[in-house]
């Protein structure tokens, strides 16, 4: 019974930790907009966590500058299992407008596995909510797979 | 029979199960009402239950720099002391344990969850936790002083010539003389206790120790998984323990004679108090600085409590 309750709760209270890897701040503002009264992501249980140790979903925005790459990896290591990694905006996926720069390590897939990618520059808040919701469902699957 | 009754008291009512469930429910009410005040839909009422079970299912990481024993024991100690506190607080006429010095025992027991937070935070070895625990200590010092004065005022009022430190005695006194809140001399004390509750629980304007936007939840920063779930549960339980202490001291005169009905009335009063002194204040204020918090408690709140103490002493 407890196992089922835990698995069910996984998808109902995902806490988000946001890592900015050199984004232009557009995506970061949009993520905060999702939590405001208009879109109110808290009705699905989403909450912004202050530290990676409390997080379930790590949201990465920005084109991964060379300086931030090591910090990103170290942050991701500190997140307890089960966890999900979501990329926000086109930057972490392709480099977007920063592509080709000597200081950008863009496709994030080179270093970590990404569960959900939200595309757009910037993505609409509706798209962000949908992406995060999908990530929450993946969390539940991961939890169930963990126990088997 | 006696042992069975004792086990029932400790594990079901008014102990473990009752405190946990009602505490988490109060936390849910707090979040939901807060959301409605900000014109949001808000999380479901049982959101804290989801949070609790989710954290139970997460991996527990003990940092390299941490002292493992203290790090893992701290939340359990806080949890246990809160359950014991609840056993001493009578649900109107019904109490599990009672003695002649309840009030003093409770005063000590109530400091233990805060101390557990300090121990856990300092064992985690994080600099953010260091700042958090120093703030937690200052918060503790600020609210303990008016809290003692409030309890003294009530004890003096109920006991007459000599102080009455037994909670069951205080409740019995209220049942023959009317609830504490209708005595003019105790009204400032009630107000002071209402302002002490949010600091004891650590909600918005007084959550300097766990400020998640500036010091990343302070002492809790390194916690994950089950110990974090325990700390979140402790906070929720503190809401219930503090509001039921208030009910016991100032609304003790209400008694229907039926235990189940009494428990229901207690829960309703606790929900109202939670909304009044935690949600409302949370919605309209921003976080204080630690020195402002200290000043607020040692001047305004302590003043209210002192006022009450003087009124009681001159026999009003
Ligand atoms: S995707 Fe667009 S808005 Fe988002 S960080 Fe990159 S450039 Fe900025």
Among the atoms of ligand 1, which is closest to the Cα of residue A122?
3
Scan residues 23-42 of B and list those with Cβ closer than 8 Å to A: 31, 35, 38-42
Going by C-beta distance under 8 Å and a sequence separation of 6 or more, which residues neighbour residue B62?
Answer: B68, B71, B72
pLDDT on residue B118: 87
CA torsion A64-A66-A67-A71 (nearest 10°) is 60
Centre of ligand 1 from the C-alpha of residue B85, in Å: 52
Answer yes or no: is pLDDT of A100 > 70. yes
Among the atoms of ligand 1, which is closest to the Cα of residue A98?
7
- Please write the tens of the pLDDT for every residue from B1-32: 677 777 777 776 777 788 888 888 888 888 88
Q: Give the residue ranges of chain B where pLDDT is below 50.
A: none
Residue B156 sits at the vertex; the CA angle it makes with B150 and B160, to the nearest 5 degrees, is 160
Answer yes or no: is pLDDT of A48 > 80. yes
**A46: nearest Cα among B232, B50, B233, B284:** B50
Q: Which residue has the tokens 């798209």?
A: A127
Please state the ipTM of this predicted complex. Answer: 0.83
Which element (helix H / strand E) includes A17? strand A15-20
**What whole-number distance in Å separates Cα of residue B35 and Cα of residue A8?**
23
* Closest C-alpha residue for ligand 1 atom 8: A24
A145 — contact with chain B (CB < 8 Å)? Answer: no
**Would the pTM of this model clear 0.80, i.e. be above it?**
yes
Q: How far is A43 from chain B (nearest CA, A)?
A: 4
* Closest C-alpha residue for ligand 1 atom 2: A121
A chain contacts of residue B283, beta-carbon cutoff 8 Å: none
Token representation of residue B134: 């120093």
Scan residues 228-267 of B and list those with Cβ closer than 8 Å to A: 228
pLDDT on residue B53: 86
pLDDT on residue A148: 59
pLDDT on residue B262: 75
**What whole-number distance in Å separates Cα of residue B162 and Cα of residue B137?**
32
DSSP letter string over B223-254? --HHHHHHHHHHHHHHHHHHHHHHHHHHSTT-
**What whole-number distance in Å separates Cα of residue B154 and Cα of residue B164?**
8
Range in A52-61, A105-114, B168-177, B188-197 with the lowest mean pLDDT: B168-177
Kind of pairing between the strands at A15-20 and A47-48? parallel
pLDDT on residue A147: 67
Q: Is the peptide bond between A44 and the residue preceding it cis, with omega within 30 degrees of 0?
A: no
**What whole-number distance in Å separates Cα of residue A15 and Cα of residue B225?**
12
Scan residues 51-80 of A and list those with Cβ closer than 8 Å to B: 51, 53-54, 56, 78, 80
Number of helical (H) and strand (E) elements in chain A, helices listed first:
5, 5
Among the atoms of ligand 1, which is closest to the Cα of residue A63?
6
CB-defined site of ligand 1, < 6 Å? A 23-24, 26-27, 61-62, 89-91, 96-97, 121-122
- Residue A46 sits in a domain whose CATH number is 3.40.50.12280
Domain holding A7, by residue range, is 2-147
Answer yes or no: is pLDDT of A28 > 80. yes
Q: Where are the beta strands (DSSP E) in A35-135?
A: 47-48, 57-61, 84-88, 116-118
Say how many domains are in chain A: 1
Domain holding B57, by residue range, is 2-313
**What whole-number distance in Å separates Cα of residue A118 and Cα of residue A59?**
10
A37 — contact with chain B (CB < 8 Å)? Answer: yes
Say how many domains are in chain B: 1
**What whole-number distance in Å separates Cα of residue B141 and Cα of residue A6?**
38
**What whole-number distance in Å separates Cα of residue A24 and Cα of residue B175?**
65
Going by C-beta distance under 8 Å and a sequence separation of 6 or more, which residues neighbour residue A97?
Answer: A121
Residue B1, Cβ density class (10 Å: 0-12 exposed, 13-18 middle, ≥19 buried): exposed
Confidence of residue A55 (pLDDT cuts 50, 70, 90): confident
């Amino acid at each position: 019974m407890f196992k089922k309750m835990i698995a069910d709760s996984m998808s109902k209270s995902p806490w988000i930790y946001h890592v900015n890897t050199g984004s232009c701040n557009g995506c970061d503002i949009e993520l905060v907009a999702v939590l405001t009264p208009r879109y109110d992501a808290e009705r699905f249980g989403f909450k912004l966590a202050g530290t990676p140790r409390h997080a379930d979903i790590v949201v990465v925005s920005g084109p991964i500058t060379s300086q931030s790459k090591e910090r990103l990896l170290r942050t991701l290591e500190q997140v307890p299992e089960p966890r999900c990694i979501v990329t926000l905006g086109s930057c972490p996926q392709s480099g977007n407008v920063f592509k080709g720069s000597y200081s950008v390590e863009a496709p994030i897939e080179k270093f970590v596995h990404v569960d959900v990618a939200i595309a757009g520059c910037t993505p609409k808040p509706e798209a962000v909510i949908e992406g995060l919701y999908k990530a929450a469902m993946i969390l539940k699957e991961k939890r169930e797979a963990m126990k088997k | 029979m006696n042992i069975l009754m004792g086990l029932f008291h400790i594990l079901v009512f008014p102990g473990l199960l009752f405190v946990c469930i009602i505490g988490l429910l109060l936390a849910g009410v707090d979040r939901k009402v807060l959301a409605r005040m900000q014109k949001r839909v808000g999380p479901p009422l049982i959101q804290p239950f989801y949070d609790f079970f989710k954290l139970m299912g997460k991996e527990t990481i003990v940092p390299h720099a941490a002292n493992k024993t203290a790090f893992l024991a701290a939340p359990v100690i806080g949890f246990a002391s809160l359950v014991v506190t609840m056993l001493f607080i009578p649900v109107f006429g019904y109490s599990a344990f009672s003695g002649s010095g309840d009030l003093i025992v409770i005063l000590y027991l109530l400091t233990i969850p805060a101390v557990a937070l300090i121990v856990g935070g300092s064992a985690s070895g994080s600099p953010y936790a260091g700042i958090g625990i120093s703030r937690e200590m200052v918060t503790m010092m600020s609210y303990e002083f008016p809290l003692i004065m409030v309890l003294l005022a009530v004890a003096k009022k109920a006991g007459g010539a000599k102080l009455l430190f037994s909670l069951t005695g205080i409740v019995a006194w209220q049942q023959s003389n009317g609830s504490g809140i209708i005595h003019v001399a105790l009204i400032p004390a009630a107000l002071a206790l209402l302002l002490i509750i949010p600091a004891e629980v650590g909600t918005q304007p007084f959550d300097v120790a766990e400020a998640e936007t500036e010091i990343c939840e302070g002492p809790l920063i390194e916690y994950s998984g089950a110990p974090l779930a325990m700390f979140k549960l402790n906070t929720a339980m503190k809401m219930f323990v503090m509001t039921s202490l208030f009910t016991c001291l100032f609304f003790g005169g209400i008694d229907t004679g039926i235990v189940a009905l009494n428990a229901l009335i207690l829960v309703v009063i606790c929900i109202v108090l939670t909304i009044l002194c935690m949600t409302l204040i949370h919605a309209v204020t921003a976080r204080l600085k630690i020195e402002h918090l200290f000043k607020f408690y040692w001047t305004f709140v302590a003043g209210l409590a002192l006022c009450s103490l003087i009124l009681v002493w001159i026999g009003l």
